[in-house]
Amino acid sequence: MKTSGSFLNYDIMSLLPFTALLKEASPPPKCQRGGNEGFWILLVVFVLTSICSNIVLAQQCGIEKGSYSIYQKMLKGHTYKTFKTWPKSLDCRDACLSDVRCQSYNFMFLKDICELNNRTKQARPKDFVKDVERYYMERIPRVSLGSIPELPADSCSEIKASEGGQAVSSSYWLDATRSGNSILARCDMKTEVADYCIKHLWVNNASCVNHPVNYLCWCKTGWTGNYCGKDIDECSNGDHGCHGKAYCTNTKGAFICTCKLGYHGDGKVSCKDVNECKKNASACPAQASCVNSIGSYRCNCLSGWRNRGAHTCIDVDECLVGSHSCPSNSRCSNTPGSYRCICLAGWRNQGPSTCVDIDECSEGSYSCQSNSQCSNTPGSYRCICLIGWRNQGPSTCVDIDECSKGSYSCQLNSQCANTPGSYRCVCLSGWKNQGPSTCVDIDECSEGSYSCQSNSRCLNTPGSYRCVCVSGWKNQGSSTCVDINECSKGSYRCQSHSRCSNTPGSYRCVCVLGWRNQGSSTCVDIDECSEGSYSCQSNSRCSNTPGSYRCFCVSGWRNQGSSTCVDIDECSVGSHSCPSNSRCVNTVGS
């Protein structure tokens, strides 16, 4: 045995050996707990307690106080609702309590399936049968059988069997044929005979005759249903005899036939056409002609009008629907029953539907600036800018700057200067106009309009002049001449015994020491010895050389440096000629 919460769980198959005792025993009047009534009661209590613990005690052992379940029994053939419940839930019990039709229920405890019954075993004892998979449970308290239309009985006998001593002679709801329609009848519980023909219930002069099992009744024409209290709608079900051109109107127990609009007659035998056009001259509006038709009439709208319904004409807006014939240079203006074409600006009417162009240029009705001319166009005009001007907007001309756009034609020796509506070619500096578009060179040299230094000369060029430096000078900038130093550049011609000496704009060859100029470019040797422009000691003599001279020491003397003579000591050097028997005594110079 296992415990789970407050319930005791058993394998239901383990209880089957004990069911043999339950088969033979009658169920106790109530679910018992404990007591000393005998072994079978204790066994029943044990088994029921086990089952109640496993399937939920409250569900099996009582909906209300005093109720009980009957194990392995069921009521067969009276189930009106079947559904599966949650295990160990009270779904079956709660469903029965919440439905007035529920009298009892069968419960399949192994499959958790609930079957709600609309009868009890007392009402149908023959249908109370054995079933090992179910137990049977009655609802207490419950609604008495036949007391409400939702729970009709088959007969007075069934009510008496169901309710026992509680059944008294009274009115009950019966449905002997189980058609689903309950009818209130009076049951005599002594005879168990039903009186279906309770006079105060039957209405509308109905006739009722009781039948051994049921009853027969006859409702007057136009009525039906229980007690003949329900009106028959002959119009809806087609059981009327109205004419095909008539309307049927239902009334209580009858109906009325009325001819449809456009017809006249009794609505049953005859409904004839009404000629509305003859009967009413103003049946149609003035914009239409009346045409009679079977059962009605129609108003044929005249041209420019259209039908709205059968008898009303409304204006056709030809402009909106596009059914007009106005030319493209006009606009359509709707009028009642027609339209008119109004010429657009720049056009004028010529006849009702023709528009011709207005020549604003020839009529002078244009507005163009002085720098433009009028050009007529269909329905308007254009202001065409004159040469040298361009359009800016529909009526404004602005100057074309030919110079910035490059749309000019000027010579290279001129520049473009914009003017209103045109341009002119302005000669560049150094050029002058010869005609409107030709520039010729200005000879600044011949005209004396130049500015050159004295050490340069003017040389005319196209559009200008140049100051060309004279020989010995060179350009520094456009108008300055600086001296060329021929000596430093080596661009001179001097003899080897002369040197170059720069002069402004030229140079000269200066004879070096020992030479003198003879002409502009010739140097001749100076004979310092003959001219006495030398410097030699007395013990030496002058000897001219090219460009200079030399001092040669006389006999007995020798050079010491370039210009000094010292005495030769012949005695010491051995260059004397004294005999051996003499001695040499040096003397100055000898």
Same domain for 213 and 242, yes or no, is no
Position 184 in a domain: yes
Highest mean pLDDT: which range of 43-52, 146-155, 208-217: 146-155
pLDDT exceeds 70 at position 10: no
Position 110 in a domain: yes
Predicted confidence at residue 556, as pLDDT, reads 85
Position 490 in a domain: no
Q: What percent of the chain has pLDDT over 90?
A: 34
pLDDT exceeds 50 at position 331: yes
Lowest mean pLDDT among 120-124, 144-148, 584-588: 584-588
Mean pLDDT, residues 527-542 taken together = 86
pLDDT in tens, 69-119: 899 999 999 999 999 999 988 999 999 999 999 999 999 999 999 999 999
Predicted confidence at residue 203, as pLDDT, reads 64
Predicted confidence at residue 60, as pLDDT, reads 52
State which residues form the domain around 187. Answer: 159-224
Q: What is the domain-level CATH number for residue 105?
A: 3.50.4.10
Position 210 in a domain: yes
Record the tokens describing residue 148, joined without a space: 């409400």
Same domain for 130 and 74, yes or no, is yes
Q: How many domains, the chain?
A: 3
- Which residue did the predictor score with more confidence, 373 or 497? 373
Residue at which a domain ends, from 78, 109, 138: 138
pLDDT in tens, 398-409: 999 989 998 888
Q: How far apart are alpha carbons 288 and 300 in whole angstroms?
A: 5
Q: What is the domain-level CATH number for residue 238?
A: 2.10.25.10
Highest mean pLDDT: which range of 26-30, 389-393, 396-400, 463-467: 396-400
Q: Report pTM.
A: 0.35
Same domain for 134 and 117, yes or no, is yes
pLDDT exceeds 70 at position 7: no
Position 215 in a domain: yes
Predicted confidence at residue 63, as pLDDT, reads 46
* pLDDT tier, 229 (very low <50, low <70, confident <90, very high otherwise): confident
Same domain for 84 and 131, yes or no, is yes
Residue at which a domain ends, from 244, 273, 302: 273
CB half-sphere exposure, 265, CA atoms < 13 A: 20
pLDDT exceeds 90 at position 47: no
* pLDDT tier, 5 (very low <50, low <70, confident <90, very high otherwise): very low
Position 128 in a domain: yes
3 state SS for 71-131:
EEEEECCCEEEEEECCCCCCHHHHHHHCCCCCCEEEEECCCCEEEEECCCCCCCHHHEEEE
Same domain for 206 and 236, yes or no, is no
Predicted confidence at residue 261, as pLDDT, reads 87
Predicted confidence at residue 269, as pLDDT, reads 86
Same domain for 106 and 74, yes or no, is yes
Position 458 in a domain: no
Closest CA to 573 of 561, 562, 557: 557
Position 101 in a domain: yes
Strand (E) positions, 34-78? 69-75
Amino acid at site 307: N
Cis peptide before 125 (omega within 30 of 0): no
Same domain for 218 and 248, yes or no, is no
Mean pLDDT of the chain: 82
Same domain for 217 and 269, yes or no, is no
pLDDT exceeds 60 at position 29: no
